[in-house]
Structure 1
Amino acid sequence: MLIGWIENILTGIEALNNILTAGIAITAFSLFLYALSFNLRDRVARSFAIILLCVVVVFTTEALQNRTVPDWGLELLLRAQWVGIIFLPPSYLHLSDALLVTAGRPSRGRRRNAVRFAYLLSLAFLILLGLGLLVGKLVVNGNPAPHLQRTLWTEVFTLFYIGIITLAGYNFIRAYRRMLTRSGQRRMLYLMAGATAPALGSYPYLLFGSGFAAQYPLFFWSTVIIINVLV
């Protein structure tokens, strides 16, 4: 009886997660269209639009994944999801650099070159994705959900992801400290908090934690729900 209750709870949590994922995708797409109404020559608006586009790709492909989709369709969606994941780090670095410029700390060339280099590395990872090297085959019966196998290049990308997001976070803090007014600091704080959640919620943790997630599915899905609510 207890097992039945747990299964019912898990089913409900999964359904709620699907609703939240679809809601995030729709909201991000709406914000992306809104961002396009701004002057895209402005680096803040342009980099923010790129982040939103990445979030749209990640959460739209995730929302389309369900039990009615055939195995080949699931694998296609999971691989398409990686397109958004790959370009999230450089877009965050791009935004952090643009915010520093807005805060009165223009780049002397190093930050801008770092942004360009990050985009080039992401392009290289995209090529690896197309060659089937960045991630492995689909684990159809994976618990608690189907996922792709990780490869050596997956681990390399994870280090790249963590490193670039950390550097972007450092730039966010620098921009926050350069705000001269409380209202400016408050807006920057809201932006930092809002930018952190998509970075945390977009990475496919099942690549590394599928064993733990399979053993504790209730904890896994509850954590996913919390992250999606934050996003």
Structure 2
Amino acid sequence: MAEPVLQLRGVTKDYGEEVVTRVLFGVDLTLRPGEFAALVGPSGSGKSTLLNLIGLLDRPTEGQVLIQGQDTSKLDDDGLARMRARSLGFIFQFHHLLGAFTAVENVMMPLLADQGYPTPEMRERALALLRAVGLGERAESPPSKLSGGQQQRVAIARALVTSPRLVLADEPTGNLDTGTSVQVFELLRRFNVEQGTSFLIVTHDPRLAERCDRIIEIVDGRIRRDEPVAH
């Protein structure tokens, strides 16, 4: 069986020093290549904290986070940044595009951050992804000239430009209308099927969650439910 893209082993997260608040309680979780999973739960349940740990933006208080078999607790901050850049993609509810740059330049950003300077190959990779999300003709447009749905498609292209094994999507359709939400979801699904990219999607939308292959529900810092979706 293929090595998991993600393993959490007994992950606990505390905040505070004098008054300690435990947000996650010994979470175990495995995601395999090509999985398309939804992470659901009420506000304050620990979803964002869990996503920050998986995204290597924070470290657990106890336990291990393994990305493609590598124990990230052994990495220093530079090592975490390199792994984040090369193995993970991020899509947020608010796309965080840089207004001073064109769509294609925004898509190139993760490659620039990793390599330090632009190359023709980098630009061609970004253009190919913009074409794949239906925005090839808007490559030179700044974000201000794009609709919300178009900006989110640019953000998806940016998340995929490094060919990550795992994409973390935090409410990726949260501020889009229903029709655009469906288009964005179908785009994520297409990359999942065609590229074998694993996705973990945080969502409050039960309809979207039910269209994933697996639902992981977290309540009060513990995984309460983890089961496949019957299609």
Q: TM-score, normalised by structure 1?
A: 0.31
From the two aligned structures, give the one with the greater helix fraction.
1
- Structure number with greater CO (CA < 8 Å, separation at least 6) is 2
